Amino acid sequence: MEEVPHDCPGADSAQAGRGASCQGCPNQRLCASGAGATPDPAIEEIKEKMKTVKHKILVLSGKGGVGKSTFSAHLAHGLAEDENTQIALLDIDICGPSIPKIMGLEGEQYVEDNLGVMSVGFLLSSPDDAVIWRGPKKNGMIKQFLRDVDWGEVDYLIVDTPPGTSDEHLSVVQYLAAARIDGAVIITTPQEVSLQDVRKEINFCRKVKLPIIGVVENMSGFICPKCKKESQIFPPTTGGAELMCQDLEVPLLGRVPLDPLIGKNCDQGQSFFIDAPDSPATLAYRSIIQRIQEFCDLRQSKEENLINS
């Protein structure tokens, strides 16, 4: 059974397909037509296609500019260091597809033999082209990515999303609902203006029954490479991600400090881990990646035990 938006008016309501909460729902047109909430057939097609994908992770953020795509890229790089692990990175930030640039891809879709990428950026004639699409066209593109791409045997599918809780987020959750999503990693920075939006993101996850793997506090201080002293570039005026996670009872996966090399490597389309293997940021990333893997393995083990019991 697919998830429906919070405050769904129901297929029999006069507001069916017309309410504010209907925007972005794959069943919006059917409900508005009065034909009833017949599930989009693509949901079952995607479920079948995703049988070869072991783990599915969404990377979310409430606000833009917090390093969500950078984290998605380095999560993919880190997991792909094991040559026996197959990784796919899907960029559904339709209007701002930055993954091809961060991954150093120009016309190619494979970073390594075991790391593939799909993005709307590959479909543009120029990186400067604007994607000016309404919700239904965005939803259709996400459906095509999930249903029509030949994903093959994949251990981890990482989905990089745009900021917020809008069309793209509803679509990917609804289309993948039957295929089982492991959970979401939510990216924030320490200051309250970011945490405020992350609270909304956590609330969204709970409303659509999307498991929360945990929160990552990005740009969490700057460690001077010479004197090794730490400075707070974005002061955590309300306690930062740690206090928020305690209040909302969600795991804090870790903190990634600022490192100028991260931005430089992303601009050059290279893995930061190779250039700075001993950086505090690299060590933080590796610890977080390990915790994500442990979460996915534990979730899979629990589900297998339920099936066998």
Q: What is the mean pLDDT of the chain?
A: 89
pLDDT of residue 11: 55
Q: Known binder of ligand: residue 25?
A: yes
Asked whether residue 149 is marked as a ligand-binding residue, the answer is no
Whether 34 and 50 share a structural domain: no
* Same domain membership, residue 270 and residue 140: yes
pLDDT-derived band at 227, boundaries 50, 70, 90: confident
- What does the angle CA 78 – CA 83 – CA 88 come to, to the nearest 5 degrees? 60
Q: 178 and 267 share a domain?
A: yes
Query: What is the pLDDT averaged over residues 38-54?
Result: 90
- Tell me: pLDDT of 284 over 80: yes
pTM of the entire predicted model:
0.87
User: In CATH, what number is assigned to the domain containing residue 302?
Assistant: 3.40.50.300
161 and 24 assigned to the same domain: no
Q: What is the residue range of 176's domain?
A: 42-308
Q: Does residue 245 have a known ligand-binding role?
A: no
Residue 65 marked ligand-binding? yes
Has 205 been labeled as part of a binding site?
no
Question: Is residue 12 located within the same domain as residue 148?
Answer: no
275 and 289 assigned to the same domain:
yes
SS3 14: coil
* Tokens of residue 157, six digits: 């599918």
22 is annotated as contributing to ligand binding:
yes
Asked if residue 31 belongs to a known ligand binding site, the reply is: yes
Note whether 13 and 157 are same-domain residues. no
Would the annotation count 227 as a binding residue? yes
18 shares a domain with 46: no
What's phi and psi for 42, nearest 5 deg? -65, -25
Is 66 labelled a binding residue?
yes
Same structural domain, 244 and 293: yes
Specify the pLDDT at position 293.
98
Question: pLDDT tens, 110-124?
Answer: 888 999 999 999 988
Q: Which band of pLDDT confidence, cut at 50, 70 and 90, is reported for residue 307?
A: confident
- Measured distance CA(13)–CA(28) in Å, rounded: 12
Confidence of residue 263 (pLDDT cuts 50, 70, 90): very high
Mean pLDDT within 14-39: 67
Is residue 64 a known part of a binding site? yes
Number of structural domains in the chain = 2
Identify whether residues 76 and 217 lie together within a single domain. yes
Residue 47 among known ligand-binding residues: no
